[in-house]
Amino acid sequence: MMGFNGIRGWIFQLGGVLYDGTAWRRWFLDHLAKRGLHTHYQLFFRHWDIEYVPRVQRGDISFQDAIENVLARAGMSDAHIHEITPALRSKRKSLRSEERPLAGVVDLLKSLQAAGHPLALWTIENCDQEDIHDKVARLGLNSYFNFIARADNAGHGHVPDCLLASTLKALQVARQQVAFVGNTPEYLRLARMIGLQTIGIGTDTTELTDWQLQGVVQLQDILPATQQRMAG
């Protein structure tokens, strides 16, 4: 396994890594609990991330239909489903104004940039209904990245060749010197399949990652000392 000293370029997942993408999920489960459907966060959304996110992303099913399908399979009545889904859609829209980078993220990106490390951003957020460049600019992170793209076709079970080629061209780094930093099991698996180093953030899927961290800002503490000096 290559150490952090061997990593020269970084690809970050956006939601759940650089900003808290879980607000709508926590609201959703709380709303379900008030309707009598009690479930565990990790259990519910691990199933959602594995079974539904790829299908939504490749266009097999809409986000709303996926939510309705999950609720129907959980035994919720049609009346409750038709009440909850519009409320969720409205809540997700209102939460955008509250989104901020996680604490320490800006300092981390500044350090990597100052150390001469090119950075890329892939978003795999399904049905986000907002242009990725607009979202990154709204979060104040656009100036740190050499390349920003939505990984639209990753739901088909592979990373598109054109996406990988464009990313590596922008980073100007060999594939084996690039790390993908993410928290979604399917996309960590795909990153590993194409030969990228993988760093899981808050994951429990050790077979998919070369390193595991509880939060992305931990990178700041464990980057090689030579990089820290360059950034300082």
Q: Where are the domains of the chain?
A: 4-20+100-231, 23-97
Q: Check residue 179 and give its pLDDT.
A: 95
**CA proximity to 34, closest of 91, 76, 92, 94:** 76
DSSP H helical segments within 139-224, as ranges?
161-171, 185-193, 219-222
**pTM, whole model, 2 decimals?**
0.79
Cβ-proximal residues to 83 (8 Å cutoff; 6+ apart), any chain: none
**How crowded is the C-beta side of 212, counted as CA atoms within 13 Å?**
10
Q: Check residue 205 and give its pLDDT.
A: 63
How far apart CA 64 and CA 71 sit, in angstroms, is 11
Place of tokens 């939504």: 56
Residue 133 scores a pLDDT above 80: yes
Three-state secondary-structure class, residue 132 = helix
**Angle of helix 78-95 relative to helix 23-34, nearest 10 degrees?**
150
Contact 150, 129 (CB under 8 A): no
Tokens of 114: 């100052």
Tokens of 162: 């054109």
Cβ-proximal residues to 104 (8 Å cutoff; 6+ apart), any chain: 215, 217, 220
Architecture of the 4-20+100-231 domain: 3-Layer(aba) Sandwich (3.40)
Tokens of 65: 């239909």
Q: Check residue 109 and give its pLDDT.
A: 96
Reported as a pLDDT band with limits 50, 70 and 90, residue 226 is very low
Contact 201, 183 (CB under 8 A): yes
Average pLDDT of span 90-119: 91
Cβ-proximal residues to 148 (8 Å cutoff; 6+ apart), any chain: 120, 121, 123, 132, 133, 136, 142
How far apart CA 96 and CA 107 sit, in angstroms, is 22
Element (H, E) at 199: strand 197-201
Q: Check residue 2 and give its pLDDT.
A: 47
**How far apart are the two ends of the chain, measured CA to CA in Å?**
27
Q: Check residue 120 and give its pLDDT.
A: 97
How far apart CA 74 and CA 68 sit, in angstroms, is 10
- Give residue-wise pLDDT tens across range 135-167: 899 999 999 999 998 775 555 566 778 888 999
